[in-house]
Amino acid sequence: MHTDLSDQIVLVTGASRGIGRATATALAEAGATVAVHYGRSADAAGEVAATCGEEARPFQADLSTLDATNSLIDQVVDAYGRLDTLVLNAGVAVPAPMDASTERWADAWSETMHVNLRAPELLGRHALRHFQSQEPSGGRIISIASRAAFRGDTPDYVTYAASKAGLVALTRSIARGFGDDGVKAFTVAPGFTRTDMAQDFIDEYGEEHATEDLALDRLTEPSDVASVIVFLASGQADHATGTTIDVNAGSYVH
């Protein structure tokens, strides 16, 4: 099976590090033109864009703010003329312990919901408008949720699990409501994946906590998630629209 994305413009949010970085690189290797979104890691995003070929460019937007989120899709469409696939990958895991002050608790919920759910809904809204109006019409949205959406998370990360469950419902609703417009929407739900975010969990709970549930003998790497995203972006899985693919080293069957 040959995967050729050379006719595709793809925006990957949170492409400066971790899963997003591996995804941008893998998409570019398959021929896609990649818009490399980042928040704070400008140097890292520049490196990713440089490895993704001449057409790749970094795009900065703090997804915890409404204005920056609101203009990102238009910036990408202005630069490339269209958008074929949106990978909603950027995310945060902010702890909200039960014994935190109400202010800290509320801040954690607010930041998490903004980056992990509100930004995706707004980016998705703008992307859908372009998908409907561009020629040829249509496009794909691939949301990176989490195993936590389905089995919950530890008490400190309830907000993270809730935001990802919302993202799953958002993505399924897009698949359900916009299929007639040629829009396909998928969710990828990773388990622990070796990135900066997972390292925070490992530092807190230990490496054993991350690997004890796995059927496979090693922690998932960002490239293991990226290859599934490339497959979904390719169109070869379009009739699986609305689905969620678990990439968790077999932790549900162990």
Instruction: Tell me the catalytic residues.
Output: 160
Give the one residue of 29, 55, 62, 238 binding ligand NAP; rule: CB under 6 A.
Answer: 62
Spatial distance between the Cα atoms of 216 and 254, rounded to a whole number of angstroms: 9
Residues in the chain: 254
In the complex with ligand NAP, the residue whose CB is nearer, 132 or 144, is 144
Applying CB under 6 A, the span of 12-20, 121-129, 227-235, 238-246 interacting with ligand NAP comes to 12-20
Residue 175: in which H helix or E strand, if any? helix 158-178
Q: Does 176 bind ligand NAP (CB under 6 A)?
A: no
Given the complex with ligand NAP, which of 40 and 218 has the nearer CB atom? 40
Starting at the edge strand found earlier in the chain, the sheet holding 183-190 runs 57-60, 33-38, 9-12, 85-88, 139-144, 183-190, 244-247
Q: Is 196 in the site for ligand NAP (CB under 6 A)?
A: yes
Q: Are strands 183-190 and 139-144 parallel, antiparallel or unpaired?
A: parallel
Q: Is 14 in the site for ligand NAP (CB under 6 A)?
A: yes
Residue of 8, 33, 64, 241 that binds ligand NAP (CB under 6 A) = 64
Output the CA torsion sign for 40, 42, 43, 46.
Answer: positive
Say how far apart CA 134 and CA 222 lie, in whole Å.
Answer: 32
The span of 9-17, 24-32, 97-105, 175-183 binding ligand NAP (CB under 6 A) equals: 9-17
Beta strands 57-60 and 244-247, pairing class = unpaired
Q: Which stretch binds ligand NAP (CB under 6 A): 4-12, 84-92, 132-140, 173-181?
A: 84-92
Inter-axis angle of helices 119-133 and 66-80, nearest 10:
30
Characterize the bridge pairing of strands 244-247 and 183-190: parallel
> Which of 11, 190, 224, 230 is close enough to bind ligand NAP by CB under 6 A?
190
Q: Which phi and psi (to 5°) does residue 193 adopt? A: -130, 135
* Residue 56 engages ligand NAP in binding (rule: CB under 6 A): no
**Comparison of 41 and 241: residue with beta carbon closer to ligand NAP:** 41
Q: Is 17 in the site for ligand NAP (CB under 6 A)?
A: yes
- Which 8-state DSSP code applies to residue 221? P
- By CB under 6 A, which span of 49-57, 178-186, 194-202, 226-234 interacts with ligand NAP? 194-202
Q: Which residues pair with 210 in a beta bridge?
A: none
Of 25, 26, 28, 39, the one binding ligand NAP by CB under 6 A = 39
Q: Which residues bind ligand NAP (CB under 6 A)?
A: 14, 16-20, 38-41, 62-64, 89-92, 115, 144, 146, 190, 192-193, 195-198
